[in-house]
Structure formats: structure tokens, C-alpha cells
Structure 1
Amino acid sequence: MAKDPQRRTEWTEAATDYVLDHGLIGLSLRPLAAELGTSDRMLLYHFGSKDELVAAVLRASNDRAVAQLAALPPSPDLRSAVGDLWAAVQAEPGDRCTRIYVEAAALGLFGREPYASVVREANAVWTTALVTHLVRSGVDRALAARAADVVDAAFMGFQLDLPLDVDPAARARAVADLADAVAALA
């Protein structure tokens, strides 16, 4: 039986939905396969390994988050762009995609594959999307690259704090302070 690329694509999207709902850590092929209406053996046939399936899911999740940024209209200025980007990261599906990224990045910190490699890939794609939004918003490319690094690092910190029930008003102040700091780079 020949591998069907369309089926692999369909299963990647469905598996991504499953992982966004259930998380990445502790992912088991049998429940995933049952949800997809197939067997774990068929998933392994089409993906080669659980690691390859996970890598495909991580890429698809990152692509969804990047598409959300690409759909943003240009922001009026650099300061506004920070708020607009944060709102996009917090909206569906960006918030769940970011949570999956954080799980993968945590596993990647220990050098565990495919997490480390796919997270490096995702970082490059994500940073390009941030820079692209900033440039579309009228920011000089060199400044946009610097600002994207700061924004990405701060957003990751904010994401790590989300489960800690940080006061929403305090988080809004932190995002506004970040916007002020990034705007001061200009």
C-alpha cells in the first residue's frame, strides 16, 4: 500500500486539533488514533515514527499561529503593534498554539528530539512573522528585527505566567510597559 500524502495532511491537521485540546506532554498514539478513526499502526506507517508525527503537529500548530499574525491588519505604529500582537497571541487559536509551543520548548531544553529541532524552526518562522507585521506597520526592518526579539522574549515570559493567575490589570500594565519600552527603541 502506497502512502497517501493527502491522508497524512488530513491526519496532521486532525492530530493538531487533538493536541491543541489535550496537550503535547503525555501524548499517546492509541487515544489519538482512536480520535482520528484509525490505528496507531497506520499513523506510524504514514508518519514513520511518533516523533515525526509530533514534529508535523508542532509545525502545523506554529503555521496556524503565524497565519493569525499574517491576517492582522497593519498597526498604526510600533507601540500599537505590540498591543495588537499580544491580542493576537491571546486569541484563538494563538493562545493554544503558544501553550503547545511552550510544552515543546520545555522538552527541547533538555535536547529531546524532535522538540529541540522543531522549536528552532518554529522560532525562525515566528520571528519572521513578527518582523513582517512590524514592517507592514511602517517600522524600519532593522528596528523591526530588534523589536521582534524583545517582544518575543517578553511574550514568552507573559505566557509562562498565565497559569499563575496573574492579575489581568497587572498583565495589561506589563504589556503597556513593554509597548512603551519597544517604542522607545525608535
Structure 2
Amino acid sequence: MSRTTARRDTLAGAATDYVLEHGLIDLSLRPLAAAIGTSDRMLLYHFADKDDLVATVLRTSTDRSVAEIRALPRSPDVRTAVLDLWAASTTGQLDRCQRLYVEAAALGLFGREPHASVVREANVRWVEALVDHIVDAGTSRANAERAVALLDATFMGMQLDLPLDPEDPARSRLVEDLADAVASVAADVR
């Protein structure tokens, strides 16, 4: 790996950490550069433009999210897998990565690039990781794909609502109900 590539990777990691902390919508190169110990000119040397930097940050965040899911211990059954995935998705780095994804997806809905393209790429990788986790918990790939369609859409809706009332006691019941529903789909019970 060349020094330039290594430096770019280091800057990408630091920029991702910054964006996970401060958000994407008001991202400005100068404050970002100052926070990570470089200049905006050096960022533009290593990244073609701000859009290239944003796309790289989003891909780095996706890499981290997928790695977190793939690092989860195997769940003993599909129902437990849903509970494990929700617990992981709502804590630590994965929670921050999910929030960044929601922010990028919202911008992508308005056709903003690179958000729309990178979110589409992220969706493919994220769903593959979820499907693999559900398959490992004891169902077929076809059933897991159906189950993950329900799981992912519900998780995304809950991520949108979570900041509004994080202490809502109904949330725990909803996660339990989702676990039951996903387990039913994964078992192909109709």
C-alpha cells in the first residue's frame, strides 16, 4: 500500500469518526479538516472533491456496520437473532452508523448524490449481513430473505422514531412482537 493510499485510508477513518459524531447534513471541510489534524486542501488532495469524501465516509461507516453484524455471536434461533440484532443496532458504534445511514438515506430520497448511490450500495451489503445472521440462526436463505425484508423495514422505522421517545415502554413490546413475526416468517408459517 502506498503512503498516499495509507494516508487516504487514515483520513477516511478519522473523517468517518467525525461525521458519526457531528452528522452529515451540515458537513463543512474546514471544521472537519481542523478536527482531524489536516487542512481542507489536503482533504481535496486525497479525495477528488467533497462528494468523494462523503461517499468514502458513508462506505467506511457501512464497512463498520457490516463488520459489527458479522462479528455477532451466532444466535441460537431466529427469534433470538432479532433481539440480538436490535440490541446491537441500538448501542455503540452500530447505533451511530445506523443514524448516519438514516441521514444519508433522507438526503438520497431527494436525489442528492453521492448519498442515493452509496445508500443503494449499503443496502445490498447490510441486507446480506442480516440474511447471513438469520440463516446461521436456523432457517433457509429464501426464508431469511423474506424475514429480513420485514426486519429491516421495521428496524428502519424504529430508528426514525427512536430519537423522539427513547424511553417508550411500548418499544420493548414492539421488538418482542417483531421477533415473533420474523421467526414465523423464517419458519414459513402462514
Query: Which amino acid counterpart does residue 74 of structure 2 have in structure 1?
Result: P
Q: Which residue of 2 aligns with 1:14?
A: 14
- For residues 157 and 117 of structure 2, the distance between their equivalents in structure 1, rounded to whole angstroms, comes to 21
Deviation at 1:76, TM superposition (A): 1.0
Alignment of 1:28-177 (within 5 A): 28-177=28-177
Deviations 1:59-108 (A, max 9, x none): 11111111111111111111111101001101210110011000000000
| Other-structure match for 1:184 | 184
CA distance change for structure 1 residues 184 and 73 in 2, over 3 Å: closer, same or farther?
same
Q: CA deviation at 1:129?
A: 0.4
The offset of 1:3, in angstroms, is 7.7
Deviates more, 1:157-166 or 1:119-128: 157-166
Quote the offset at 1:167 in angstroms. Answer: 3.8
The two structures, once aligned, show a CA RMSD in angstroms of 1.2
Deviations 1:5-27 (A, max 9, x none): 00000000000000011011100
Residue in structure 2 matched with residue 27 of structure 1 by the alignment? 27
Asked whether the equivalents of residues 75 and 84 of structure 1 are also in contact (C-alpha less than 8 Å), the reply is yes
Distance in 1 (alpha carbons) for counterparts of 2:40 and 2:126: 31
| Aligned 8 A contact 1:3 1:46 in 2 | no
State how far apart, in whole Å, the 1-side matches of 2:136 and 2:64 are: 19
Tell me if the contact between 1:16 and 1:57 (Cα under 8 Å) persists in the aligned partners. Answer: yes
Number of residue-to-residue matches in the alignment:
185
TM-score w.r.t. the length of structure 2 is 0.94
SS at match of 2:92: coil
TM-score (norm 1): 0.96
Q: 2:163, 2:16 → 1: CA distance?
A: 22
Q: Does the CA contact (< 8 Å) of 1:16 and 1:58 recur in 2?
A: yes
- Identity among equivalent positions (%) equals 65
Alpha-carbon distance in 1 for matches of 2:161, 2:173 = 14
Structure 1: where are the runs of 5+ without partners? none
**Structure 2 letter corresponding to 1:178:** L
